[in-house]
C-alpha cells in the first residue's frame, strides 16, 4: 500500500496523510474505497494508532474522507477533483515560478518544451543528444 520509510523532515501523521493523498491522486484509492483501519496501519508501519488517527483526521477535516461509525473511513465523492484543484494551485503558486525562471534562464522555447514532453527520455539520453549536436574540435 505505502512506503514503509519515514523521514525526519515532517511529522509521521503528516507523511501518512500525504501518502494517502498521493494514492488518491494516482487512482490507487478511488471514491467510496475504504481506508485501511487505524489498527492495521499502526501495526504494519509500527506507529502509534493515535498518529494514524491524527493523519486520518486531517483527511476528514479536508473533506477528503468520511468516517462511518462502526464501518471505518471512506474516500469521499469528488475527493480526487478537490485534491487536483488544490495541487494545481499549489504547483502554480510554489513551484511554477522556479520552473519558469529556469526555462527563461536557459532560453528554452515552447517548441523545445513540447518536444521534450512528447518524447520523454532519460538524462543520459539527453546528454548524448546534446553531445552529438556540439561541433567537434
Tens-digit pLDDT profile for residues 69-121: 989 999 999 999 999 998 899 899 999 999 999 999 999 999 999 999 998 76
pTM for the model stands at: 0.69
Q: What's the CA dihedral at 84, 90, 93, 96 to 10 degrees?
A: -70
Strands (E), the chain: 65-68, 72-75
Left (φ > 0), alpha (ψ -120 to 50) or beta: where does 37 sit?
beta
Q: Which residue has the cell 483526521?
A: 57
CB 1 within 8 A of CB 36: yes
Contact partners, residue 114, CB within 8 Å, separation at least 6: none
| Cell numbers placing 118 | 512528447
CATH of segment(s) 1-103: 1.10.10.10
Q: What is the largest CA-CA distance in the chain?
A: 74
Q: What 3-state DSSP class applies to 36?
A: coil
Q: What pLDDT score was predicted for residue 129? A: 52
Residues in the chain: 137
Q: Do 59 and 65 form a contact (C-beta atoms < 8 A)? A: yes
The three cell numbers locating residue 50: 493515535
Tens digit of pLDDT for each residue in 28-49? 999 999 999 999 999 999 999 9
Amino acid at each position: 500500500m505505502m512506503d514503509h520509510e519515514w523521514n525526519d523532515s515532517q511529522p509521521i501523521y503528516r507523511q501518512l496523510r500525504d501518502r494517502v493523498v498521493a494514492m488518491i491522486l494516482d487512482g490507487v484509492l478511488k471514491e467510496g474505497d475504504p481506508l485501511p483501519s487505524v489498527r492495521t496501519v499502526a501495526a504494519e508501519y509500527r506507529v502509534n494508532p493515535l498518529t494514524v488517527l491524527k493523519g486520518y483526521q486531517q483527511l476528514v477535516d479536508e473533506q477528503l474522507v468520511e468516517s462511518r461509525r462502526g464501518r471505518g473511513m471512506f474516500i469521499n465523492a469528488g475527493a480526487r477533483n478537490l485534491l487536483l484543484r488544490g495541487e494545481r494551485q499549489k504547483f502554480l503558486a510554489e513551484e511554477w515560478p522556479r520552473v519558469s525562471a529556469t526555462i527563461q534562464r536557459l532560453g528554452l522555447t515552447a517548441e523545445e518544451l513540447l518536444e521534450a514532453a512528447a518524447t520523454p527520455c532519460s538524462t543520459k539520453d539527453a546528454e548524448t543528444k546534446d553531445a552529438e549536436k556540439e561541433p567537434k574540435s
